Amino acid sequence: MVAALNARHHRVALLLFAAIVVAHWAEHLAQAFQIYAFGWSRPAAGGALGLVWPWLVSSEWMHYGYAVIMLGGLVVLRHAFTGTSRTWWNAAMWIQAWHHVEHLLLLVQASTGAYLLGASAPTSVAQLIIPRVELHLFYNTVVTVPMVVAMVLHRRYRPMATAEPACGCATRPRFAFAGG
């Protein structure tokens, strides 16, 4: 299964993964818009899903589940990346690994009722410095930017590359130039 996702199904898998990332971004941007443009309180600003299912957005299980899906996607789909694109993809993966640890910490606190440093609610390490909404916009940015760079580099045609990906994602030039 992993081999197929990194070979003949890599392009489709990357597109599906990108769609999940974009949907997640839309949720966080909607939440920030609700706070900063509409002046909603942070508890009332739950993004689009929170308007329909407020209990879902307040569930640490939902947030942890997304963190696992993101980390899993980054780990599983990394095998087809080579060279510089692999370096950028790995950067996104390691940042997401830390983000996953933060969500695991939040989930454990929510499950046990024992909050970090006596906080009144589940709190991540970075959240001690940056409020949660802004922190997640930051995390999404620092994971998404290297992911996008990796995907762009991965899809570029590189006839002289030392390690060609097995997936065939690279776009081929439309026109051949004389002499090369």
- Rounded CA separation 14/155 (Å): 11
Q: State the pLDDT at residue 173.
A: 54
177 has a pLDDT exceeding 60: no
Q: State the pLDDT at residue 39.
A: 96
8 Å CB contact between 165 and 79? no
Work out the average pLDDT over 149-170.
76
162 has a pLDDT exceeding 60: no
Q: DSSP readout, the chain?
A: -HHHHTTTTHHHHHHHHHHHHHHHHHHHHHHHHHHHTS---TTT--HHHHHH-HHHHT-HHHHHHHHHHHHHHHHHGGGG--HHHHHHHHHHHHHHHHHHHHHHHHHHHHHH---GGG-SS---SGGGTS-HHHHHHHHHHHHHHHHHHHHHHHHS--TT-SS--SS--SPPPSSPPTT-
**pLDDT tier at 3, thresholds 50, 70, 90:** confident
> Cα 98 to chain center, whole Å?
12
140 has a pLDDT exceeding 80: yes
- The backbone torsions φ and ψ at residue 178, rounded to the nearest 5 degrees and listed phi first, read -60, 140
pTM of the full structure: 0.86
141 has a pLDDT exceeding 80: yes
Q: Which region among 47-56, 118-127, 144-153, 171-180 has the lowest average model confidence (pLDDT)? A: 171-180
Encode pLDDT of 72-118 as tens digits. Answer: 999 999 999 999 999 999 999 999 999 999 999 999 999 999 999 98
Q: State the pLDDT at residue 57.
A: 83
Q: Degrees (nearest 5) of the Cα angle 125, 145, 79? A: 95
1 has a pLDDT exceeding 50: yes
